[in-house]
Amino acid sequence: MGHDKLRKFKENEGFGCLLQPSSESVLNVRDGVFGVKDHEIKGHWDERMFGGSGRPIVLELGCGRGEYTVDLALRNGGFNYIGVDIKGARLWKGAKYAHEHNLPNVAFLRTRVEFVEAFFAPGEVSEIWLTFSDPQLKSEGQRLTSPQFLERYRKFLKPGGVVHLKTDSQFLYRYSLALAQENGLEILASTADLYAGGTRETLSSAALASVCGPDSVDALFEVQTYYERMFLGMGLPITYLSFRIDHEGAFVSPQSFDTDYWRAAEGTRRSFGHGMQK
């Protein structure tokens, strides 16, 4: 491990806005089978991390360096934002900024996204942002918009809670759109090219603006990660989808989605490796 990573890990320990739970605090092992148990922060984020502000909580899952989480918090003080990622060296940047600038509405959680339900109580979260997630071309269960993950989100999102997906991956966008349609979820906004002419005006008048507020629409265009700027510079379109999570019964995979076609259409853009993004 490099000295720079060790330095960041050491600094992370002093950031009050960063929660780094041990694996033992969220994992149960019985007869060799792993299960997830509740962490003590579950249901207490507002009082323990945000001073009892009463502000709605918004998550960014797979937040990388936290630049999106921080920027959303800076532009909208009426919400609390929590960035979630497993990589401590990445989280260091956002946590350091939030710590040094005493941002009252920013926190970070270092954990695997698969464990997220262990940290949030029913109705504790209002919105989820998925920004440039790994599309998981060969593993549906690991896609952050798969039926398995939607079931996790449903356990802690408020009724009417919203999932935002912003991605350069046509594969992930088309899959998620088909899944939302298959399950009869209310789609608030959808575009295969966010920066095409007229899209901002269209989204500003869509249900998205009335549900999540104009700040959410502005953030789509004005908050950009390093990789988003890189993809835009290459002339690649950025997609966006938002939908409500409300649904009765089990979530099902989209039967209309042509996996082979969209996997092939993804082409060389995956060569960057989403594990390196943010």
Residue of 203, 223, 193 whose CA lies nearest to 81: 223
What ranges in the chain are assigned the alpha helix state H? 3-12, 45-49, 67-75, 88-100, 147-154, 170-182, 199-204, 207-212, 214-222, 226-233, 259-266
At 55, the amino acid letter reads R
The token duo for 264 is: 């092939």
**Active-site residue identified among 4, 71, 85, 134:** 134
At 246, the amino acid letter reads D
Sequential DSSP letters for 213-244: -HHHHHHHHH---HHHHHHHHTT---EEEEEE
Q: Does residue 85 carry a catalytic annotation? A: no
The vertex-127 CA angle with 213 and 49, nearest 5°, equals 105
C-beta separation of 24 from 45 below 8 A:
no
Q: Rounded to whole angstroms, what are the CA distances from 124 to 135, 215, 256?
A: 27, 21, 33
How buried is residue 15: exposed, middle or buried, by Cβ count under 10 Å (0-12/13-18/19+)?
Answer: buried
C-beta separation of 262 from 48 below 8 A:
no
At 224, the amino acid letter reads Q
**CB neighbour burial string for 213-245, b if at least 16 within 10 angstroms, e if fewer:** eeebbbbbeebbbebbeebeeeeeebbbbbbbb
- Give the catalytic positions in this structure: 134
